[in-house]
Structure 1
Amino acid sequence: MLYNMIIKNQTQVVPGTIMYKLNWAEVETPVFRKFFLFNVTNKEEFLAQTPGNYVKPIFQEIGPYVYREYLKKDNIEYQDYNSSVLQKVFYRQTATFFFVPELSNGTEDDIVTSLNIIVTLIPAVMEHVIPPGLLNTAYAVFNKLVRDTNSELLFTMTVGEYLFGFQDPLFTAILDKLFPEAESDIFGVFMLTNMSIGWRDYQVYTGKGDYKLTNEIVQFQNMSVLPYWFGETCNQINGTDGTMTAPFMNKEDRVYFYVDEMCRSIYATYQSEQEVHKIKGWRYNVPPDVFMSPANNEENTCFCADLNHVTCQHDGGNLVSSCLFGAPLFVTFPHFLYASDYYADKIVGMHPDEEKHQMYIIYEPTTGVVIDTESRIQLNLFMQPNSRAPVLNQIQEEFAFPMLWLNEVATLQESDASWFYLLLYRLDELVLLVEIVAIVVGSAFLGWAIGFPLYSKQRRKSQTSNQYASDYAMSPEKKNRKPVAVRTISTTQLVED
């Protein structure tokens, strides 16, 4: 069908196609990243607790702090460009963030009290990278630096510093000890995302050769298979980068995409039909199954290094320390949506709401283009007692400490929806009209092609007969021929003879 052929061609991620210009090389649809931070309101009581006397941290959600995210691909390099085999393209995904005060509920100068990330991460990383025989020495140095810098388990700073960079005396002291030539001692939760060092390399299929593979990841950071997890299935890089999927979608299929913050691919399943600016779309939700414990979803078994670990015994999240040098980052849905009560019962201030906290994507199913999405995840640090570090050992409970949740939002603009509508619906009608005209013209031509030789043959035959009759009428023999006597024979005579 001509229409299908046009769609398959124009959704390839190659120069000259509609998709390349408007949704791939540089995403023109405005993308916003909304940060909701969890502010601890009982800092003094929490820090004053003693072993055996656990004080729950009380959280107040502040925000959103909204940033415009500019996504652009560079270092684009095509492989097998003129070949008939499956074509691939390599690129680097860049991102830059700019604060949008008019969309935010607060400013970057707002104050937030949260978990001291440096105090929490350093011991966990030491446990992961330092040989056991040297750990006692490493902890002795760490504990001294904590005392010298008066570092505590919680710290207070501005929202802008927390997200994109601050100076911490403990971090500076550690760098001076281990990396005296380090160019910067700035640390921020999303600092690297806003810098080239945090940008990621991808290799994907363009869709040329097989439209079903459009935008499918071949390699991420030069890896075709992940090294982080504990089974072949979990280490597979499945799906796309989330910006678009292959055209001509099927409601029965899962849609996979890779999430960098989680170091893994996740999937979404079809839920319902929805419209965005008159464009008909299919809504896909990321189901609770993605964060279920292995006991309730066997597919998640290979995401667990230890099936007896708390995070593998309860539904609700994914511990990703294996890809972060031991840093105990625990990823969940916001406010522990769909999670076991185990997590929310350890703290105060969580209010899960499916409408506010569910992760979804709406695709236009013919092209595979995302026309609306709210990608919502929560970042927590999983806390455990540590007898070697007094700053951590004052808390004897194991619990997930929520730092923030983020929502990456992108919606097809009404101005873009108009041409997209023409592409999807008017083009289909135009192609149908062309096909009808082609059928009519083709049928007429076919009729002419079949009928003309027969007509010509009949006409030649008629002309020959007429010419023969004419010639015969004018011949001398006919003119000089005498009349022939006709004898009449009766029936009786015929019988007698």
Structure 2
Amino acid sequence: MRIRIGKLDVFIVIAATICIVFGIVMWAAFSSIYSSLVIQNLRLSENTDTSLGYSAFQYTNPQVTNVMKFYFFNLTNPDEVKYYSAAPNMVEIGPFSVIESEQKKYLDFNGDKSQMFYQNYKKYILSKDYSCDECDWDRTLVFPNPPGLGAVGSMIDPQFKITRTGRTIIATALMILGEYPFVSHKVREVLFDGYEDALLSAAHSGFVTILSGIFKGDGGSIVPIPIPQMPKFGYFQGYNNSRDEEYWIETGKDDINQIGQVKKWAGITELPGSWWTGDHARRISGSDSGSFTQMHLDESSTADMFFSFMCRSFTKTFYKKDTIQSIPTMGYHIGYDEWDTTSDKNIGFRYRNIEKRNYFPDWPKCPPKGECHQAGSIECWKSENFCHACCDGSFYNGTYLLPPGMFPLVCYPGRLQPTPFAVVYSPPHFLFSPDEVRNPVVGMKPDPEKHEPMIYYHETYSGTTLKVVNRLQVNMPVIKSHDVPSSQNMPNVMIPLFWQEATPIYHQFIFNQVWLGFVLVPRLMTVLQFVALGFGLFLLALLFFLQLRKSKSSSVKPMRSSFLERTSNWLSSTTSNSYNSNQSGGLRRM
């Protein structure tokens, strides 16, 4: 049996081959081609005409509206706290909102384009749109006095070697200048505008400068304790229209999963030993404020981030999955473990507590002690040994350790300068701390939904950041000091000043581009792969069916022709025989 191939058969074979080859090639090659294109677009690059590549432009000119909401704690019973050691009664007011804008300037690349340099400039504009209806920027707050309390704390800091006579002189000066534990100022002054403080004004006055030059020489100061380098005091006074320190970061040229990694900050590769102790605490690791992360994220992924405004690095771990604008994302957070300075890993982040005050006498809760039989071999700095018979709870090495959920501010936020007064960071409302931290202050109501400190949501394939929530609380240690008359009856307590929530609102075109590039295109190509393979196989099946029909029809025709031929032959032979017999009969008659 012969198979006859027509033009239609050839067309079907060619079409089926093209579809199957296309499907197989796309199945095998699309992943690598797509990954290469994504990496090329993600990399921070500079074009031949020195203009910035797409990713670098977006990074240096963020297309977001960054809303910062401030919630202030207003102290309602300052006299009771000051004179009777009462528990501070804090009332939260807010949010008072600010629009922050950033621009990275003076960009430069190293020789092989593997690193990029920039300075990060920021502006802040007060906003009524995101503030509460009753939030008046001229509203008055009562809060702890940072310059005055900072001076009280510095008096007993061993590094300044202030004698008893020196402490008396400083205490007298504070009383004359009217530096009291609590002050009252407007919200706008407390936040950005700043307010006149007698201690700051005196320390920066021309009279003190002249005396310092006479007795201490150039660069010296007759004031024996550090004074903030600001003419006025405000939490963010002097930060508007200012910049962070300088950065050198990875562009992703050598390894896309290293994109954004900070290589140098303020010209250093690790943080000063006077800030933190130990290699882990001093590391500068990860991208700037968590801007970047690696590709191909899953629940086991982790990512480091360097947060200069908190003077340290963190590690993000999986939080939860979420879908944002129809885009699947992985959420990562700075969880409890990163805030627990009682753990072995975070020992370098512990608060020095040079004032040697027990701010939380009820922590830790330990059962009645037995007898100590092995004092020399117990490591009392470890949290699991706090309640050991040979240890003394949180008291270790002559001072008191702080509970989990807090660590000190060791520098001016974002600057390579040590802070002159004690400030402690924590999640809002002491979320990650035990009840013994919240109980001494009235008004703390932690809620994980509202106060989870830092959450980042990334598109899973590229790692593109699509949602960020940064929350942080600032607290001030208030101490009892017999050297300062106004602080003799104060409690030793950690008082919250304010907490802030920063949420970038991404412009819609960013979501559109991410959805198009990382949701629609992969799905479309997957569908095309199956459609091409399926259609190719369908064409082959169709060809087989057509050939089968042809073969059946061709086998029927020979059978019919042979039947007719036999019939014709029979008729022919019959006719021939009849004719021959007639002929022979006729001859015989003749």
| Contact map agreement 1:288 1:316 (CA 8 A) in 2 | yes
Distance 1:344 1:377, change over 3 A: same
| Partner residue of 1:216 out of 238, 251, 261 | 261
* Higher mean C-alpha deviation, range 397-406 or range 141-150: 141-150
Q: What does residue 69 of structure 1 align with?
A: 100
Deviations 1:315-358 (A, max 9, x none): 22112348734522111100000202222111101000000000
Deviations 1:91-150 (A, max 9, x none): 111111001112102121111110111111123345559641x44455344323322222
Deviations 1:223-274 (A, max 9, x none): 1111121111111112111122233234312222122232111122112211
Determine whether 1:390 maps to 2:485. yes
Structure 1 residue 21, shift from structure 2 partner = 2.3
Q: Distance in 1 between matches of 2:512 and 2:400?
A: 47
Q: Distance in 1 between matches of 2:481 and 2:418?
A: 19
Unpaired runs of at least 5, structure 1: 440-497
| Contact map agreement 2:104 2:118 (CA 8 A) in 1 | yes
Determine whether 1:202 maps to 2:202. no
Structure 1 residue 19, shift from structure 2 partner = 2.2
Q: What does residue 578 of structure 2 align with?
A: none
Q: Distance in 1 between matches of 2:510 and 2:158?
A: 50
| Contact map agreement 2:298 2:330 (CA 8 A) in 1 | no
Q: What does residue 467 of structure 1 align with?
A: none
Q: What does residue 549 of structure 2 align with?
A: none
What is the identity, as a one-letter code, of the residue corresponding to 2:119? R
Q: Distance in 1 between matches of 2:308 and 2:157?
A: 21
**SS in structure 2 opposite 1:102?**
coil
* Higher mean C-alpha deviation, range 173-182 or range 154-163: 173-182
Q: What does residue 230 of structure 1 align with?
A: 277
**SS in structure 2 opposite 1:187?**
coil
Distance 1:436 1:129, change over 3 A: farther
Structure 1 residue 283, shift from structure 2 partner = 1.0
What is the identity, as a one-letter code, of the residue corresponding to 1:94? Y
| Contact map agreement 1:125 1:327 (CA 8 A) in 2 | yes
Q: What does residue 407 of structure 2 align with?
A: 318
| Contact map agreement 2:327 2:519 (CA 8 A) in 1 | no
Q: What does residue 17 of structure 1 align with?
A: 53
Determine whether 1:158 maps to 2:186. yes
What is the identity, as a one-letter code, of the residue corresponding to 1:40? L
What is the identity, as a one-letter code, of the residue corresponding to 1:245? T
| Partner residue of 2:151 out of 116, 122, 130 | 122
| Contact map agreement 1:3 1:431 (CA 8 A) in 2 | no
Q: Distance in 2 between matches of 1:153 and 1:160?
A: 20
Distance 1:271 1:183, change over 3 A: closer
1:262-301 matches, within 5 Å, as 262-294=310-342, 297-301=343-347
Q: What does residue 490 of structure 1 align with?
A: none
Determine whether 1:374 maps to 2:469. yes
| Contact map agreement 1:127 1:326 (CA 8 A) in 2 | no
Larger Rg: 2
Determine whether 1:142 maps to 2:170. yes
Q: What does residue 364 of structure 1 align with?
A: 459
| Partner residue of 2:425 out of 331, 350, 362 | 331
**SS in structure 1 opposite 2:174?**
helix
| Contact map agreement 2:409 2:419 (CA 8 A) in 1 | no
Q: What does residue 199 of structure 2 align with?
A: 170
Q: Distance in 2 between matches of 1:303 and 1:101?
A: 37
Q: Distance in 1 between matches of 2:400 and 2:302?
A: 25
Deviations 1:419-444 (A, max 9, x none): 221121234356668999999xxxxx
TM-score between the two structures when normalised by the length of structure 2: 0.67
Q: What does residue 238 of structure 2 align with?
A: 192
Q: Distance in 1 between matches of 2:418 and 2:144?
A: 18
1:5-154 matches, within 5 Å, as 5-15=36-46, 16-22=52-58, 24-49=59-84, 54-81=85-112, 87-105=114-132, 106-125=135-154, 127-128=156-157, 131-132=160-161, 134-136=162-164, 138-154=166-182
Distance 1:71 1:325, change over 3 A: closer
Bigger RCO of structures 1 and 2 (CA < 8 A, at least 6 apart):
2
What is the identity, as a one-letter code, of the residue corresponding to 1:98? I
What is the identity, as a one-letter code, of the residue corresponding to 1:368? G
What is the identity, as a one-letter code, of the residue corresponding to 2:89? I
Q: Distance in 1 between matches of 2:420 and 2:483?
A: 16
| Contact map agreement 1:33 1:409 (CA 8 A) in 2 | yes
What is the identity, as a one-letter code, of the residue corresponding to 1:338? F
* Higher mean C-alpha deviation, range 103-112 or range 116-125: 116-125
Q: Distance in 2 between matches of 1:350 and 1:382?
A: 16
Distance 1:375 1:311, change over 3 A: farther
Q: Distance in 2 between matches of 1:311 and 1:81?
A: 50
Distance 1:311 1:20, change over 3 A: farther
**SS in structure 1 opposite 2:287?**
coil
| Contact map agreement 2:43 2:251 (CA 8 A) in 1 | yes
Distance 1:252 1:200, change over 3 A: same
TM-score between the two structures when normalised by the length of structure 1: 0.79
